Amino acid sequence: MTSEEKEQIVEQMAESAHNAWWQTYIDLGYTSRKAAWGEEFMVPFEQLSERGKEFDRMIMRAILNRLDAEGYRVEAV
């Protein structure tokens, strides 16, 4: 997988994971969840600052790297 392909997957995963997390917290009755730097995270991925989006991307990169280290391959279909 090229680095460009990996970043496309990271972006899609970050958006999906963030929005699933956000919806779950809403369903549980939460109305606010702030990052350590004060940004409100209880918004759709598209409304996050670049710093907020990069936080989610960083987690997805770590997951993909771990899967790769374990011999798994993730590919866009």
Question: Rounded to two decimals, what is the model's pTM?
Answer: 0.88
pLDDT tens by residue, the chain, 77 residues: 788 988 999 999 999 999 999 999 999 999 999 999 999 999 999 999 999 999 999 999 999 999 999 999 888 77
Tokens of 3: 């680095």
The pLDDT of residue 56:
96
Burial 19-53 (b: 16+ CB within 10 A, else e): eeebeeeeeeeeeeeeeeeeeebeeebeebeeebb
The pLDDT of residue 76:
73
The pLDDT of residue 63:
95
The pLDDT of residue 25:
96
